[in-house]
Amino acid sequence: MSYINPLHPPVASSQRSQFSSLGGAVPVSAPQTHTGPFRRRLPQPPYTPASKWRNATGRLNPLHSAITFEYANLPNQGVSMREMSVRSGAALASMVKGAGDAVLAHAGVARINLRIIWPGYEHVDWARSIEVNTASGPITRAQLAVIISQNFARFIEKNRSEPARSSDWHMGPSGIRYEHLFLMALRNVFEDVWQADVVVVDP
């Protein structure tokens, strides 16, 4: 998979040189980007509570609109979770569209709950509380992207040795790794529960 620097506009293929000092030794192949055919959406079923009473009486329709994440110069492609984890706040401010937007200021709540339901690992109960109104003010889009990305990093780290019930979505060195994940959106699926819309980019 070729690396795309989100801090700079992509270079058109017509502007790229085909010369390579390794050209005689390494066959030239078409570069792969995260917009190519190896991109697949992680199928997460919407969270439903175990309690039949809460399931029957809880609000099923989303109250809040989805929060989207994209690079300023690469629309509709999501953002690399690895990038979100390693970049500084200043870098994120320039590379993420609407990075400083207070995306949950209108929610009227102090925190939300992030759920990860990974196919083949449905037996793993992953729910984490995210404070959306902090001492420094409402959480921003970039801060939210970082927190979601960190949760997925910990989820994979903790469960990569767990046997998967689906070989297509197996995590680990021989399967899906953290660097393969792109965050597209965060969606309100049940009351205060939110789930990330994630794309896996295979190498």
Q: How many CB atoms lie within 10 A of CB 105?
A: 13
* Residues facing residue 198 across a β-bridge: 183
DSSP-assigned states of every residue in 70-95: -BTTBTTS-EEHHHHHHS-HHHHHHH
Of 104, 71, 60, 89, the C-alpha closest to 5 is 71
Q: What is the DSSP letter of 28?
A: -
Q: How confident is the model at residue 30 (pLDDT cuts 50, 70, 90)?
A: very low
Helix (H, G, I), strand (E, B) or coil at 115: strand
Phi then psi dihedrals of residue 196, to 5 deg: -85, 140
Q: How confident is the model at residue 54 (pLDDT cuts 50, 70, 90)?
A: low
Q: Kindly give the residue spans of alpha helices, DSSP state H, lying in the chain.
A: 52-57, 81-86, 89-95, 141-159
Question: Residue 121 corresponds to which tokens in the numbers above?
Answer: 């690992």
Q: What is the pLDDT of residues 59-113, one digit of tens each?
A: 555 578 899 999 998 888 999 999 999 999 999 999 999 999 999 988 788 899 9
8 Å CB contact between 72 and 106: no
Torsion of CA 92, 96, 99, 105, to 10 degrees: -130
Q: What is the pLDDT of residues 146-180, one digit of tens each?
A: 999 999 999 999 998 888 888 889 998 888 999 99
Burial class (CB in 10 A: 0-12, 13-18, 19+), 7: middle
